């Protein structure tokens, strides 16, 4: 990708984020300095941009709760997958690859719902995904005062979530069935 293409993508992302300055039709403006979900969404889109180097990326829209029109809907807080947009990642061959989902509930191996900030699901994941649908997870940690350190409890909370969700199924199958393109993502 050329520098000019990258700049155009970033500008497009900036324009899309400006339109999203009001969250899910709410009259309340988003405050990027206080609302940690804005940082989580930025991290999500950063992963999405990186994915675009290896996959065709398509945004799945959802019905807006008040207008009923299809729109990009992203969570402020964890929610069910069926209520929020996600990115379908398709391989160059046209094969479905993955679904990149923001902050949705994933059922862990003990039946409890957990919500990492970013979830990479297998393409055939259930509408209410379980830990067996996971290929990778990320968690964004936002600190308002950049001179402060991230609390140890924030890190240990993510480690605990990872352990309860179990090791992503994708890695166990990688050597046997996954393509080279997917290897670049790991």
Q: In this structure, what token pair is assigned to residue 145?
A: 């005062």
Torsion sign across C-alpha atoms 28, 44, 54, 136: negative
Instruction: Express each pLDDT in 101-147 by its tens digit.
Output: 999 999 999 999 999 999 999 988 999 999 999 999 998 887 777 78
Residue 61 DSSP code: P
Q: Which two tokens stand for residue 67?
A: 């207008």
pLDDT tens per residue across span 136-177: 999 888 777 778 888 888 888 888 888 898 876 554 444 333
User: How many CB atoms neighbour CB 145 within 10 A?
Assistant: 6
CB atoms within 10 A of CB 131: 18
* 26-30, 70-74, 147-151, 172-176: range with lowest mean pLDDT: 172-176
* Structural domain boundaries in the chain: 3-185
Q: Is 131 helix (H, G, I), strand (E, B) or coil?
A: helix
The DSSP call for residue 56 is E
């Amino acid at each position: 990708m050329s520098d000019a293409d990258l700049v155009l993508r970033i500008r497009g992302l900036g324009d899309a984020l400006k339109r999203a300055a009001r969250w899910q039709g709410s009259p309340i403006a988003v405050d990027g300095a206080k609302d940690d979900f804005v940082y989580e969404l930025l991290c999500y889109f950063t992963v999405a941009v990186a994915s675009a180097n290896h996959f065709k990326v398509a945004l799945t829209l959802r019905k807006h709760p008040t207008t009923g029109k299809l729109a990009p809907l992203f969570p402020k807080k964890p929610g069910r997958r069926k209520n929020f947009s996600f990115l379908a990642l398709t391989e160059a061959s046209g094969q479905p690859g993955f679904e990149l989902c923001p902050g949705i509930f994933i059922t862990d191996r003990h039946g409890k719902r957990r919500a990492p900030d970013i979830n990479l699901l297998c393409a055939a994941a259930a509408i209410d995904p379980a830990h067996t649908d996971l290929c990778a997870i990320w968690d964004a940690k936002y600190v308002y005062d950049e001179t402060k350190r991230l609390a140890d409890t924030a890190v240990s909370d993510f480690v605990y979530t990872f352990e309860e969700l179990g090791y992503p199924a994708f890695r166990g199958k990688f050597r046997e069935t996954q393509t080279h393109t997917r290897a670049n993502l790991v």
